[in-house]
Chains A and B, each alone.
Chain A
Amino acid sequence: MTVKIILCTTLLVLISLGSATAQSTDELFRQGNELFEAKQYDSAVAVYGDVVGKGLESAPLYFNLGNAYFRNGDLGRAILYYHKARRLDPDDEDIVGNLEFARRFTSVQMEGVKLNPISSLFGAIVEPYDLNFLAWVTSGFFILLFVLLTMRFGLNVRGLVVRSGLTVALIVVVTLSLLTTVKYDNDYRTPMAVVIAQEAVVRTGPSLLSDKELDAVPGLVVEILDETGEFYNVLFENKRRGWIEKDLVAVI
């Protein structure tokens, strides 16, 4: 009996704690919105940052944080958080719109040629969908495939519908799995970063003594190819590459 009481009390405490945390993060988010509306963008950035600091994320949170940075004049971080928001919700027109808008403020445009057309094609197909959506759709067809397999081989249903359904489901599952893998690779396995420093020299080698390759500007998106010590080896969208100090960029 005593054990039951202790268990119930612990459970109640945990539930109330969880609820309090959710409440406090929601409250912080709304507080950030109020500060934003009051044009106190510095404070809004700090409050939204508190929520992120609790290890939580959501597309609206990153979007609002990006907006606060943008209004605060910090183009690099604005683009960084728009990218983070888009990763979580690529279909949101507000996020895509503001990202496109902000990117026009980067003083150097580096949108370049796509060297791998097949990879780019797959990337373009999956871009509007977030990973979770793709994963659930793939999962749905995977379950359908196995239900059909169960009917065919478990229940020995040999109808034309089952056989055709199996072929279609197999093709769809393979295709969707491939696309989901591409999406996962693009969003999570390929490390991307945004230049956040106002003055960011990209060098020919991982040393401050190396020659200058080019001047990067806030908001430019780079792919991190390698890292050593205090430097990342980065590839720009126009396929130029070089070494940049880690402090000058932020990983998406």
Chain B
Amino acid sequence: MRSSTGLSRGVLLMFSFVLGLLATAGSSRAQNTPDIQVGVTISRDTIGLDETATLQIVVSGNTQDLPGPKVPTLPMFEVYSQGRSSNFSLVNGRIESSVTYRYLILPKKEGSYPIDNIAVVHQNKRYKGNAVSLTVLDQGTTSTPSLEAKASDKTGQSKDLFLEATVDNANPYVNEQVTLSLKFYIAVQFYGSPSLTGPTTTGFWTEVLRNTAPYHQKVGGRTYRVLERKYALFPTQTGVLQIGRAAITTTVATQSRRRDPFDVFGGIGRGKDVTVRSNPIRVEVKPLPETGRPEGYTGTIGKFSITAQADKTTVEVNQPVTVTINIRGVGNIKSVAEPTIPELDDFRVYRASSSESVSKPKDRIGGTKTFEEVFIPKRAGSLEIPAVHISFFDPEKKRFQTVETRPIKLEATKASGPAAEYEVPYAGPDMTLGAESREIRFIKEDPGELRPVGRILEHSALYVAVNAASVLLLVATVLVRVRREKLAGDVGYARARGASKQARKRLTKAKELARLESAEEFYSESCQVVVSYIADKLNVSPHGLTTDKVSGLLSRRAAAKELIEDTTAFLHNCDFARFAPSTVSQADIDQTLKQAEDIMVRMEGIKF
């Protein structure tokens, strides 16, 4: 039985291991699957026979080793590579890289040619780019009469350089995109980067779309190099508006009449600054039609779709559910207003945040705007967040449209934890923040102990004293114990420590005996005061201490000479008086007592 259990456990472990391996392999495989895109753009869709266009191929993906594109054979064109540029970023562990390849295209023959089948091959998989087409005109130029007029001066001579501004729509609706193209034509050598002063666009909200790759165009029989920048303009008011002049300043080469034979560079670097200006453009902005305008329309123009997604579908009452509403499409995404969410009986709704990302596909401004709304269920049960809608005006179809999200179904369960414990709101219609709120617990009647702001207990004297006292108690008792143990175990130490005390006792006794009737005992005691003190300090017997020995001990302890002499004299006097007490007077006794006291005081200063 046991072995069977062990076996099944082993099989289970192995099964788990294999499953884990599979999961790991699967996840790494999922992570390693490259996501590669190929984007193909052409700077111009129509050119003349003597003109050029730039083909741009952008290969992007989540891998570092992006493959190069295979450009199909284009028999009707001469194709020259103009180099490549690459970009790499690593955000949150995710690799984003892109490589841009540029090719200059020169047509050989007129006609309309599709350019497709541009692809890259990575890990035996083919990633195909989008198709573009290029029309080559037989008359040899794409320039219009107005452009040719612009390219020549009053005398009919062609200009070396000029700036042209055009719009794709001079009669837009308010807030509809107008694309402004600024083209800088230059047929002579120039140095450095031309400096652009943008046009004034009062009455428009403006966004730069892109700079196109330089190309060549024939105007009036002369080939110009063209630098182009495109702007997206959104008129913010109706009526006649004017896009002002733009200006470009650049340094062009000048021809020197006298050639310097020593100038090996042939005059490179010499030039003069020239400024050219574009023509102003008149734009007549139409108002939106009044008919068919939906209720709550906020002025959005373009073409949009809307989706909504909840972060969870089961939630406790009083707990938030975040619903992410995405609006994406083409149009001025920044002007898209937040969708209106009606008052809901089952939910309390809070606006959380909004973000937007702008994209510019095919020179049209668009993108995504995201709103996060928080819905908090008021009751348990099956609830529904209703559809949210937005309305916009579609300028292509010239009519208003309304799109909406799908309703979101939620399962709200009964609250638990703090939400239930504190009788949180949202159970009644009048539960609001502000004066009408009834739910907060009522104010306290007693102010409590009002103390200085920020006073912390650890900083109070009482707290420090109480804690310090316990430490001091320990230190004191340990010291006492150590002293006691030393006194008990070391007689010499005990005698030395008690010497002064014993001497004082003897001195007191001597004072009591300081009378003529007890002169002998007095002198004996006085002598002992000094002798016993020294004996105790040095832990020797007082009985063998003669006056000479005392004198010798004191001198070894570096006592003052006067003290040694006074002590010796004192002891001699005491000895003499002890054996002839009848010769002393009361004055002598008082004098001796004074001397004893004096000597004792002076001996306290000696280190024994």
Residues of A within 8 A of B (CB): 22, 25-26, 29-30, 33, 36-37, 39, 41, 51-52, 55-61, 63-64, 67-68, 70-73, 75, 93-94, 96-98, 100-102, 104-105, 107-109, 131-132, 135-136, 139, 142-143, 145-147, 149-150, 153-156, 184, 188, 214-215
Residue of B434, B437, B443 touching A36 (CB-CB under 8 A): B443
Decide if B350 is an interface residue (CB 8 Å cutoff): yes
> In whole angstroms, how far apart are the Cα atoms of A132 and B470 in the complex?
19
Instruction: Flag if B481 contacts A25 (CB, 8 Å).
Output: no
7 smallest CB-CB distances across A and B, nearest first, come from: A154-B477, A60-B444, A107-B350, A146-B470, A58-B448, A29-B447, A73-B434
A-contacting 9-mer, from B16-24, B198-206, B453-461: B453-461
Query: Given known contacts A39-B435, A108-B350, A108-B353, is B450 in contact with A51 (CB within 8 Å)?
Result: yes
Instruction: Flag if B458 contacts A101 (CB, 8 Å).
Output: no
Decide if B452 is an interface residue (CB 8 Å cutoff): yes
CB distance from B324 to the nearest CB of A (A): 14
- Residues 402-446 of B contacting A (Cβ, < 8 Å): 418-419, 421-426, 433-435, 437, 439-446
Instruction: Flag if A102 contacts B470 (CB, 8 Å).
Output: no
Q: Which of A52, A72, A135 has the most CB of B within 10 A?
A: A135
Measured CB to CB, the nearest residue on chain A to B480 is A154
Decide if B579 is an interface residue (CB 8 Å cutoff): no
> In whole angstroms, how far apart are the Cα atoms of A39 and B436 in the complex?
10
Residues of B within 8 A of A (CB): 318, 320, 350-353, 374, 376, 418-419, 421-426, 433-435, 437, 439-454, 456-458, 463, 466-467, 470-471, 473-474, 476-478, 480-481
Q: Which residues of A contact B473 (CB under 8 A)?
A: 146-147, 150, 154
Residue of A61, A135, A155 touching B450 (CB-CB under 8 A): A61
Measured CB to CB, the nearest residue on chain A to B479 is A154
Q: Which residues of A contact B467 (CB under 8 A)?
A: 139, 142-143
Instruction: Flag if B443 contacts A131 (CB, 8 Å).
Output: no
> In whole angstroms, how far apart are the Cα atoms of A64 and B447 in the complex?
9
For this complex, 27 residue pairs linking A to B, each with C-beta atoms less than 8 Å apart, are: A33-B445, A39-B435, A41-B435, A56-B452, A60-B447, A61-B450, A63-B443, A70-B433, A70-B437, A71-B434, A71-B435, A94-B441, A96-B422, A97-B422, A101-B422, A101-B424, A102-B433, A108-B352, A109-B374, A131-B456, A135-B463, A136-B463, A139-B467, A150-B473, A150-B477, A155-B477, A188-B456
> In whole angstroms, how far apart are the Cα atoms of A58 and B446 in the complex?
10
> In whole angstroms, how far apart are the Cα atoms of A154 and B553 in the complex?
38
CB distance from A82 to the nearest CB of B (A): 10
> In whole angstroms, how far apart are the Cα atoms of A145 and B474 in the complex?
10
Instruction: Flag if B447 contacts A61 (CB, 8 Å).
Output: yes
Q: Which residues of B contact A109 (CB under 8 A)?
A: 320, 374
Q: Which of B418, B446, B450 has the most CB of A within 10 A?
A: B450
Instruction: Flag if A150 contacts B474 (CB, 8 Å).
Output: yes
Query: Given known contacts A101-B439, A107-B351, A215-B353, is B444 in contact with A94 (CB within 8 Å)?
Result: yes
Q: Which residues of A contact B439 (CB under 8 A)?
A: 101
Give me 16 other A-B pairs in contact (C-beta within 8 A), A58-B448, A72-B434 excluded: A55-B452, A56-B453, A58-B447, A71-B437, A75-B433, A101-B422, A101-B439, A104-B424, A104-B425, A108-B352, A143-B466, A143-B467, A146-B474, A150-B473, A153-B478, A154-B476
Measured CB to CB, the nearest residue on chain B to A61 is B447
> In whole angstroms, how far apart are the Cα atoms of A37 and B435 in the complex?
11
Q: Which residues of B contact A72 (CB under 8 A)?
A: 434-435
Instruction: Flag if A139 contacts B435 (CB, 8 Å).
Output: no
CB distance from B520 to the nearest CB of A (A): 48
> In whole angstroms, how far apart are the Cα atoms of A94 and B454 in the complex?
22
Q: Which residues of B contact A100 (CB under 8 A)?
A: 418-419, 422, 424
Instruction: Flag if A58 contacts B450 (CB, 8 Å).
Output: yes
Q: Which residues of B contact A33 (CB under 8 A)?
A: 443, 445
Q: Which residues of B contact A41 (CB under 8 A)?
A: 435
Q: Which of B318, B422, B480 has the most CB of A within 10 A?
A: B422
Q: Which residues of B contact A56 (CB under 8 A)?
A: 450-453
CB distance from B437 to the nearest CB of A (A): 6
> In whole angstroms, how far apart are the Cα atoms of A132 and B163 in the complex?
78
> In whole angstroms, how far apart are the Cα atoms of A39 and B320 in the complex?
31
Q: Which residues of B contact A55 (CB under 8 A)?
A: 452-453
Q: Which residues of B contact A145 (CB under 8 A)?
A: 470
Instruction: Flag if A143 contacts B470 (CB, 8 Å).
Output: yes
> In whole angstroms, how far apart are the Cα atoms of A59 and B448 in the complex?
7
CB distance from A132 to the nearest CB of B (A): 4
> In whole angstroms, how far apart are the Cα atoms of A149 and B437 in the complex?
57
> In whole angstroms, how far apart are the Cα atoms of A139 and B328 in the complex?
64
Q: Which of B448, B458, B477 has the most CB of A within 10 A?
A: B448
> In whole angstroms, how far apart are the Cα atoms of A172 and B470 in the complex?
17
> In whole angstroms, how far apart are the Cα atoms of A235 and B480 in the complex?
56
Measured CB to CB, the nearest residue on chain A to B435 is A71
Instruction: Flag if A71 contacts B457 (CB, 8 Å).
Output: no
Q: Which residues of A contact B478 (CB under 8 A)?
A: 150, 153-154
Residue of B352, B448, B450, B481 touching A154 (CB-CB under 8 A): B481
> In whole angstroms, how far apart are the Cα atoms of A21 and B423 in the complex?
38
Q: Which residues of B contact A68 (CB under 8 A)?
A: 443
Instruction: Flag if A67 contacts B447 (CB, 8 Å).
Output: no
Q: Which residues of B contact A105 (CB under 8 A)?
A: 433
> In whole angstroms, how far apart are the Cα atoms of A96 and B437 in the complex?
17
Instruction: Flag if B466 contacts A139 (CB, 8 Å).
Output: yes
Q: Which residues of A contact B480 (CB under 8 A)?
A: 154
Q: Which residues of A contact B443 (CB under 8 A)?
A: 33, 36-37, 63-64, 67-68
Residue of A26, A93, A108, A147 touching B447 (CB-CB under 8 A): A26
Q: Which residues of A contact B437 (CB under 8 A)?
A: 70-71
Instruction: Flag if B440 contacts A98 (CB, 8 Å).
Output: yes
> In whole angstroms, how far apart are the Cα atoms of A109 and B425 in the complex?
16
Instruction: Flag if A147 contacts B470 (CB, 8 Å).
Output: yes
Query: Given known contacts A100-B422, A131-B457, A143-B470, is B434 in contact with A60 (CB within 8 Å)?
Result: no
> In whole angstroms, how far apart are the Cα atoms of A68 and B435 in the complex?
9
> In whole angstroms, how far apart are the Cα atoms of A230 and B428 in the complex?
42
Q: Which residues of B contact A215 (CB under 8 A)?
A: 353
Instruction: Flag if A70 contacts B440 (CB, 8 Å).
Output: yes
Q: Which residues of B contact A154 (CB under 8 A)?
A: 473-474, 476-478, 480-481
Residue of B376, B421, B470 touching A142 (CB-CB under 8 A): B470
> In whole angstroms, how far apart are the Cα atoms of A215 and B372 in the complex?
12
Q: Which residues of A contact B351 (CB under 8 A)?
A: 107
Measured CB to CB, the nearest residue on chain B to A132 is B457
Residue of B352, B435, B452, B481 touching A107 (CB-CB under 8 A): B352
Q: Which residues of B contact A132 (CB under 8 A)?
A: 456-457
CB distance from A37 to the nearest CB of B (A): 8
Measured CB to CB, the nearest residue on chain B to A154 is B477
Instruction: Flag if A73 contacts B477 (CB, 8 Å).
Output: no
